[in-house]
Structure 1
Amino acid sequence: MDLRQLGYVVAVVDHGGFTRAAAAMHVAQPSLSQAIRSLEAELGVALFDRIGRTVRLTAAGRALLPSARQALRDVDSAREAVEAVRGVERGRLDLVSIPTLGVDPVALMIGAFHRSHPDVTVRLIEPDDAAAVAGMVAGGEAEVGFAELPLTEAMVQDGRLDAVELEEQEYVAVLHRTVEQGPSVSMGRLAALPLVTTIVGTSTRRLIDDAFARSGRTPRIAIETDLRDVITAIVEAGGGYSILPRHVAERMERRGSGEVHVAEIVPRISRRVGMINRPGTLSPAALAFIAVAKGRQQRSPDVVLQQ
Structure 2
Amino acid sequence: MERREVEYFLAIAEQGSFTGAAKALRVAQPSLSAAIGQLENRLGGKLFHRLPHGVRLTPAGEALLEPARQVVRDLSTARDSVRQVLGLTAGRLDIVAQTTLAVDPLARLIGDFLRHHPQVDVRVVDQELGRTATGSVRTGECELGVVDASTDPEGMDGVLLAGRQIYAVLPPGEHAQKRIGLSELAARDFVATPEGTATRAVIEDVVAARGLRPKVSVETAHLAMVVPLVLAGAGVTLLPESMAVGASREGATVLPLRPKVVRASRLLWRPGPLSPAATRFIELVSKTAVPPRHRR
Q: Same fold (TM over 0.5)?
A: yes
State the AA in 1 paired with 2:255.
A
Runs of at least 4 residues off by over 6 Å: none
Residue 24 of structure 1: aligned partner: none
CA contact (8 A) 1:136 1:142 kept: yes
User: RMSD across aligned C-alpha pairs, in angstroms?
Assistant: 2.6
State the AA in 2 paired with 1:127.
Q
Percent identity between matched residues is 35
CA distance in 1 between partners of 2:157 and 2:130 (Å): 14
> How far 1:87 moved relative to its partner?
8.2
> How far 1:129 moved relative to its partner?
7.6
CA contact (8 A) 1:98 1:130 kept: no
Q: Flag the 1:101–1:203 CA change in 2: closer, same or farther, 3 A.
A: closer
Residue 266 of structure 2: aligned partner: 274
Indicate which of 288, 293, 299 corresponds to 2:285: 293
Q: Which sections of structure 1, spanning at least 5 residues, go unmatched?
A: 1-79, 299-303
Residue 91 of structure 1: aligned partner: 91
Q: Flag the 1:231–1:172 CA change in 2: closer, same or farther, 3 A.
A: same
Q: Which sections of structure 2, spanning at least 5 residues, go unmatched?
A: 1-79
CA distance in 1 between partners of 2:222 and 2:252 (Å): 19
Question: Looking at CA atoms only, which structure, 1 or 2, has the larger radius of gyration?
Answer: 1
Map 1:41-80 → 2, pairs under 5 A: none
Residue 108 of structure 2: aligned partner: 108
TM-score (norm. length: structure 2): 0.65
Q: Does 1:146 align with 2:146?
A: yes
Q: Does 1:263 align with 2:255?
A: yes
CA distance in 2 between partners of 1:218 and 1:148 (Å): 20
> How far 1:146 moved relative to its partner?
0.9
Residue 196 of structure 1: aligned partner: 191
CA distance in 2 between partners of 1:265 and 1:167 (Å): 19
State the AA in 2 paired with 1:229.
A
Q: Does 1:241 align with 2:239?
A: no
> How far 1:127 moved relative to its partner?
0.6
CA distance in 1 between partners of 2:148 and 2:129 (Å): 8
> How far 1:228 moved relative to its partner?
0.8
CA contact (8 A) 2:114 2:120 kept: yes
> How far 1:277 moved relative to its partner?
1.0
Q: Provide the secondary structure at the position in 2 that maps to 1:89.
A: coil
Residue 210 of structure 1: aligned partner: 205
Q: Provide the secondary structure at the position in 2 that maps to 1:282.
A: coil
Q: Provide the secondary structure at the position in 2 that maps to 1:95.
A: strand
CA distance in 2 between partners of 1:151 and 1:165 (Å): 10
Q: Provide the secondary structure at the position in 2 that maps to 1:215.
A: coil
> How far 1:271 moved relative to its partner?
2.7
TM-score (norm. length: structure 1): 0.63
CA distance in 1 between partners of 2:160 and 2:237 (Å): 26
